[in-house]
Amino acid sequence: MSTYAEIAVEDLTETEAAAELARLATEIAHHDQLYYAKDAPEISDAQYDELRKRNNAIEAHFSELIRDDSPSRRVGVAPSSGFAKVTHAVPMLSLENAFDEQDVRDFFAGIRNFFRRPEDVARVAADAIEVMAEPKIDGLSAALRYEHGRLVLGATRGDGVTGEDVTANIRTLRNVPKTLAGKGWPDVIEVRGEIYMEREGFFAVNAEREAAGEPVFANPRNVAAGSLRQLDPAITARRPLKFFAYHWGETSAPFARTHGEALEHLSGWGFTVNPRSRLCHGVDEVLAAYREIGADRADLPYDIDGVVYKVNDIGLQRRLGFVSRAPRWALAHKFPAQQAQTVIEKIDIQVGRMGTLTPVAFLAPITVGGVVVQRATLHNEDEIARKDIREGDTVVIQRAGDVIPQVVSVVLDKRPSNSVPYQFPEECPVCHSLAVREPGMAARRCTGGLICAAQAVERLKHFVSRDCFDIEGMGAKHIAAFWEDGLIQRPGDIFRLKAEQIAGREGWGELSAANLIRAIVQRRRISLDRFVNALGIPQVGQATARLLARHYRSLDHWRREMEQPDNEAAHASLLDVHGIGDDMAADIVGFFAEAHNRELLDDLVHEVEVLDYESPNRLGPGGAAASPLAGKTIVFTGGLETMSRSEAKARAEALGANVASSVSAKTNFVVVGADAGSKATKAASLGVTMLDEGQWLRLAGLGEDAAESTASGAPPGAG
């Protein structure tokens, strides 16, 4: 070891620093060779991290001494303060879940009912439709973009629209091709798949961390996700991550007619595809595949939590399209929940951002499905009463996938003799306001509103969260501390924070305060859907926020519609949004009816710029962005001959249109089918453009043949 290794970086002379950098470059290169080339590391992750940390600290202090062979240069990029954001050209959506056989049969029935023409219905009959069944890997979704056969970008799924640029980390995965093999690949293709860690690698990582006195990871998925998001790619490189390719996003040209054919191409281009994927004909074969894969689950080297079904014909995939958050042509069939017994040590009440009182059971720690569980949701007071759950009870808990563990039942013969029934509180445990339960509602709510610290803080936490303003470095504990000390009381205050207000507080220095302010400034521009989600309106989450953004297009337009003197007009405007019902519309109108909410919005728009909504081009070149339907409102009435109403709506939405359920003066087109009723009459009286079925097909780019026009196109991928 160098005689300078024990000297603090700030105490090194220039000569000593140069000698240390030379030593570190040689030593780190030696360990890289052992790890990557020989799979025989001599030191732990923690020891290796300390070497790199010291190298980076010296380079930061003596930037003029950075060597050409510096470890920070060999890994491709130097550690940064965060990841750049990547907007997915084709959204990476999630999948709908099935938990039993009937859910799967309902999925097949939904596909069958989607189509109208006899030849289509025959192709999607429950015993005939071709479906690929693939193990559902319990990992982290990623998208890899190739241009002219070379890897140029790797990104996480993020919120489905925006992910993180982790290209340098992706490049360290050994089974990710840096250059595509074979031939026939499109000039541009985004390959999607799952990054995961096999159990053997997971145990090895945890053994090293335990030996180094570091906390161990709960499961392979957590370590895979944490490894991919390391700011230093060298750390990612030392973790045995792998990649299964299972789909694709944007492509410059179609490359397959079926999903099975696409997987064959991906394999030929150098990707690993799951060998357990298989083509099934009909629902019974699909369920048989599910049982077979489930029976072999424990013998697989990696964790799976279900089986994914995908309609094999890509033309049918395109026609089936999407609902707000998932494709209609795919389904995740989850395995049954895993159960265990433990003791409820305490029942606590948590207050959410809407004032809902939620009971949570604090448990004696127990491992369920490889994850240590210490808490479980009890849902509400009726659930506690129905199951007679008490503190001190031994209970059966279950966990399915990433779902929060829940209490299934009480083991009565293990109940303590001094046990007493649990009394649900009638006042808020935080602000002590009355907690009321309105007729027909399952939950009690605190009546304190924004005077309740829990509600105020939880709303602010939601505001800065990943799917909303996504302010890096402003965690839950910081929000709580800033609120408690009066630095922030409402969202607009966040953007008025100054570094000098933060620096010097517990846990904050000048650099960390400056970094937080920089992160806040970077979020002064935000998309409309994220802004709407951040407001925390009851029942309005990520998917509904996107519906509202797509329909109203701008914040000004939405506010004008919602702040009309006539609440009924605002309510009717919301019912024009396909997917929003009476209850949700009432909550949105109610939000705008409150003066303090309007004042909050006025204050906030002085601090941020809300970007008008832009339709994602779901159909690739020549799709939504080029469509005459983009941004238009369309209503369907009457029956169509060539396709079902569901398929017509899906096509319109894929082209960027807003599908409404009622006709108004703001409607652009009404498609009139057979036996059209009052909607056609109202459209005529308002002078709205009416289209017959042929005109609609031509406007939608389908000509006269809806079945064949998209048969070879590649649909957007699901994550």
CATH number of the domain enclosing 605? 1.10.150.20
Q: Give alpha helix (H) positions in 179-232.
A: 199-211, 220-228
Q: What is the pLDDT of residues 400-414, one digit of tens each?
A: 655 568 898 999 999
- Highest mean pLDDT: which range of 90-99, 309-318, 636-645, 690-699: 309-318
pLDDT at residue 64 tops 80: no
pLDDT digits (tens, 9 = 90+) for 462-500: 999 888 998 988 988 899 999 989 999 999 999 999 999
Q: Tell whether 307 is covered by a domain.
A: yes
Which residues are catalytic, by number? 136
Tell me the average pLDDT across 508-512.
90
What is the layout of strands, in order, in the sheet containing 140-147?
Answer: 150-156, 140-147, 188-197, 241-251
Q: Is residue 272 within 8 Å of residue 245, measured between CB atoms?
A: yes
pLDDT confidence of residue 82: 59
Residues 373 and 414 in one domain: yes
Comparing C-alpha atoms, which of 550, 606, 598 is closest to residue 576?
550
State whether 383 and 357 are in the same domain: yes
What is the mean predicted confidence (pLDDT) over 112-126? 83
pLDDT at 34 over 60: no
Domain around 44? 9-74
Look at residue 712 and tell me whether its pLDDT is greater than 60: no
Mean pLDDT for all residues in the chain: 85
Residues 300 and 348 in one domain: no
141, β-bridge pairs: 194
Share of the chain above pLDDT 90, in %: 42
CATH at 669? 3.40.50.10190
pLDDT of 538: 84
Identify any residues that bridge with 281 across adjacent strands, giving them in sequence order: 130
Domain boundary among 585, 611, 637: 611
Q: Which residue has the higher pLDDT, 302 or 6?
A: 302
Same domain, 669 and 554: no
CATH number of the domain bearing residue 60: 1.10.287.610
More confident position, 277 or 38 = 277
Same domain? 120 vs 229: yes
Range list of β-strands (E), 165-303: 188-197, 241-251, 278-281
pLDDT tops 70 at residue 458: yes
Q: Give the CATH number, domain containing residue 345.
A: 2.40.50.140
Q: Specify the pLDDT at position 80.
A: 35
Residue 562: inside a domain, yes or no? Answer: yes
Residue 617 placed within a domain: no
When pLDDT is cut at 50, 70 and 90, the band that residue 12 belongs to is confident
Q: Answer yes or no: are the C-beta atoms of 57 and 51 closer than 8 Å.
A: no
Given a cut of 50, whether residue 208 has pLDDT beyond it is: yes
Pick from 171, 221, 180: nearest CA to 36: 171
66 and 103 together in one domain: no
Q: What is the pLDDT of residue 709?
A: 37
Q: Residue range 578-588: average pLDDT?
A: 85
What tokens appear for 703 in the block?
A: 């000509």
705 or 536, higher pLDDT:
536
How far apart, in whole angstroms, are the C-alpha atoms of residue 129 and residue 316? 10
- Domain boundary (411, 436, 461) is at 436
Residue 264 lies in a domain: yes
Going by pLDDT thresholds of 50, 70 and 90, the confidence category of residue 714 is very low
- Higher pLDDT: 345 or 24? It is 345
pLDDT at residue number 503 = 92
Q: Report the C-alpha dihedral over residues 627, 631, 637, 641, rounded to 10 degrees.
A: 20
Q: What is the pLDDT of residue 615?
A: 63
pTM score, two decimals? 0.61
For residue 609, pLDDT over 90 is answered with: yes
| The pLDDT value given to residue 44 | 46
Nearest to 216 by CA among 200, 205, 232, 224: 205
Q: Does residue 295 belong to any structural domain of this protein?
A: yes
Residue 319 lies in a domain: no
What is the model's pLDDT at position 717? 57
Q: Is the pLDDT of residue 705 over 80?
A: no
Residues 613-632, mean pLDDT to the nearest whole number: 59
Q: Give how far Cα 452 sits from Cα of 353, 448, 474, Å.
A: 10, 5, 21
- pLDDT at position 530, please? 93
Q: Is the pLDDT of residue 425 over 90?
A: yes
The number of distinct structural domains making up the chain is 5
pLDDT: which is higher, 15 or 275: 275
70 and 132 belong to one structural domain = no
Separation CA 520–CA 528 (nearest Å): 17
Q: Is 578 within 8 Å of 658 (Cβ atoms)?
A: yes
Q: Is residue 597 domain-shared with residue 681, that is, in the same domain?
A: no
Residues 249 and 281 in one domain: yes
Does 46 have pLDDT greater than 70? no
Name which of 131, 101, 90 is nearest 308 in CA terms: 131
Q: Is residue 210 part of a domain?
A: no
Residue-wise pLDDT tens digits, 353-368:
888 999 999 999 887 7
Whether residue 37 has pLDDT greater than 50 = no
Higher pLDDT, 440 or 349: 349
pLDDT band of residue 620 (cuts 50, 70, 90) is very low
Instruction: Say whether both 264 and 131 belong to one domain.
Output: yes
The answer to whether residues 586 and 669 belong to one domain is: no
Q: What pLDDT was estimated at residue 52?
A: 75
Task: Answer whether residue 461 is part of any domain.
Answer: no
Residue 707, pLDDT > 80, answer no
Q: Output the domain CATH number for residue 241.
A: 3.30.470.30
The pLDDT score that the predictor gives to residue 335 is 87
Q: Both 113 and 180 in a single domain? A: yes
